[in-house]
Amino acid sequence: MESVYNPPDSVVVNRIQRAFPSDELRERARVTNLIQRERKLDIVALFYTLSLGFAAGSDRSIQAFLERYVEMADCDELSYATFHGWFKPGFVALLREILDDAIENLDTGQTKLSGRLERFRDVLIVDATIISLYQDARNVYTLDDDRAGAKLHLTESLSTGLPTRFQTTDASTHERSQLPTG
């Protein structure tokens, strides 16, 4: 029986910090005008909370996100209104820039399929997931009559392990309409 290698937490944390260095995150936040003066907003803690620490819990409310951020940033209490105010187009632009660079810099070193799939040039994996949003977003991202939600459509290459296409739509958009063809 083959065992699965589980690296120690320190190895995982080290790899994440190399992929998303704190200094680079802070500089990007300044360039996109997300941070004009550093007070309670710790962009590094906010980024890591959003991308790594928040989704692990069972409570995925904005309040739980705020509590996790306060814990990660090791700051005193933070008002909900202040925290909510950080989620503006500048923060979205920063996250998009970080994601684009991360995808561009990924290199798995693998480009060929093996085993029963070696006859194929590539195999594409298509998936979609729904992300619940604030009620105020219902006009743009509809889930149903009284809820808002966005759907992330992702196509991944099995040979490289990298995304080849991603798009967001409202949550009611059917996956079939987003399937890449050709």
Cα-flanking dihedrals φ and ψ of residue 58, to 5°? -85, -25
Query: Distance of CA 169 to CAs 65, 165, 166, 174, Å?
Result: 23, 13, 10, 9
pLDDT in tens, 113-140: 788 888 888 888 888 988 887 777 777 7
pLDDT in tens, 85-104: 888 777 888 888 888 887 77
Whether 154 has a pLDDT exceeding 60, the answer reads yes
Within 13 Å and on the Cβ side, how many CA atoms surround 154?
13
Q: What is the crossing angle of helices 89-105 and 22-31, to 10°?
A: 130
Whether 1 has a pLDDT exceeding 50, the answer reads no
pLDDT in tens, 21-68: 889 888 888 877 776 655 667 888 888 888 776 555 566 677 888 888
Collapsed DSSP state (helix, strand, coil) of residue 15: helix
Residue 73 CA to residue 46 CA, distance in Å, equals: 8
Does the pTM surpass 0.75? The reply is: no
Within 13 Å and on the Cβ side, how many CA atoms surround 63?
1
pLDDT score for 76: 77
pLDDT in tens, 167-178: 888 888 888 888
pLDDT score for 73: 83
Query: For the chain, what is the radius of gyration of the CA atoms?
Result: 19
pLDDT score for 83: 82
Residue 62 CA to residue 134 CA, distance in Å, equals: 9
Sign of CA dihedral 15, 155, 44, 55: negative
Cα-flanking dihedrals φ and ψ of residue 105, to 5°? -90, 0
Residue 49 CA to residue 65 CA, distance in Å, equals: 7
